[in-house]
């Protein structure tokens, strides 16, 4: 546990799972510049710690995962500096270390605007049954950077256009039908579910997990031929690792594997 933060809670568990909680429930976990810097520091620490395997992102309280940019802070910034920093409230994109460790969003309420963009950057999204989702930027005269890029790939072109153009809220069950989230559970089961998934991932071979994420990300973002070439390359790399040999030995010996990440 690192206790130096004011706007987030950063926990590093012995099972290889880290948890970052946006801790501004009085502002529905909206992000201001200080929150963004703290998130950046925590994400960087997670990326560089070889003992950490999976990251869970969530929000404090029962009302919101994050409502994105703190508009009050942005208005004050506009008054004093004459501009608004569009990167504030989107800290996961600021991590200086390329991190291929899996991330899970445990969405405990409103996930709107840049808050939903933060969830979209996660690999797996689990929602409480009262959660609501929206891309409200058009209502504020803004354009969502990540929303326009990732959202159509997650929910499809038509559903993305609906969310982006109307800015209307959709509920958790609608989000589940559209593929925006993987599971919907009661609030009391949200973190236990996210932790169970994270622990299942953390128990697997770390190199294999990271290469799978790289391969799928490449397949989503790169041309088919290029992504296929990358998949073939990492398959050859994985077959040469000690973890592959350990996985085979453990299966043959009827015991859990002990992976070393090499």
Task: Please say whether the beta carbons of 46 and 58 come within 8 A.
Answer: no
Radius of gyration of the chain (CA): 19
CA 95 to chain centre: 13
Where is 77: in which H helix or E strand?
Answer: helix 71-81
**Residue 97: how many CA atoms within 13 Å on its side-chain side?**
14
**Cβ-based neighbours of 245, under 8 Å, separated by 6 or more:** none
How do strand 132-134 and strand 170-171 relate by DSSP bridges?
Answer: antiparallel
52, 46 in Cβ contact below 8 A?
yes
Considering 137, 174, 210, 253, which one is annotated as catalytic?
137
- Around Cβ 172, how many Cβ atoms within 10 Å? 21
- Which one from 117, 145, 225, 253 is the annotated catalytic residue? 117
137 annotated active-site? yes
38 catalytic per annotation: no
Residue positions annotated with a catalytic role: 117, 137
């Amino acid at each position: 546990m690192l206790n130096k933060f004011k706007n987030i809670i950063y926990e590093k568990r012995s099972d290889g799972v880290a948890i970052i909680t946006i801790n501004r429930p009085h502002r529905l976990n909206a992000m201001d510049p200080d929150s963004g810097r703290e998130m950046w520091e925590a994400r960087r620490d997670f990326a560089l710690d070889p003992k950490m395997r999976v990251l869970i992102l969530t929000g404090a309280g029962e009302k919101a995962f994050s409502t994105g940019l703190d508009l009050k802070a942005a208005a004050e910034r506009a008054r004093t500096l004459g501009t608004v920093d569009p990167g504030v409230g989107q800290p996961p994109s600021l991590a200086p270390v390329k991190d291929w460790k899996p991330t899970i969003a445990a969405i405990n309420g409103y996930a709107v605007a840049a808050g939903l963009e933060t969830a979209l950057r996660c690999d797996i999204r689990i929602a409480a049954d009262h959660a609501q989702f929206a891309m409200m930027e058009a209502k504020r005269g803004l354009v969502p950077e990540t929303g326009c890029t990732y959202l159509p790939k997650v929910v499809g072109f038509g559903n993305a256009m609906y969310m982006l153009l109307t800015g209307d809220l959709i509920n958790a069950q609608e989000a589940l039908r559209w593929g925006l989230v993987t599971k919907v559970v009661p609030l009391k089961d949200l973190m236990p579910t996210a932790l169970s998934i994270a622990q299942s991932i953390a128990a697997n071979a770390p190199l294999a997990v990271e290469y799978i994420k790289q391969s799928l990300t490449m397949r989503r973002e790169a041309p088919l031929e290029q992504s296929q070439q990358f998949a073939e390359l990492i398959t050859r790399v994985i077959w040469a690792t000690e973890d592959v040999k350990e996985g085979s030995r453990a299966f043959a010996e009827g015991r859990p594997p002990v992976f070393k990440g090499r």
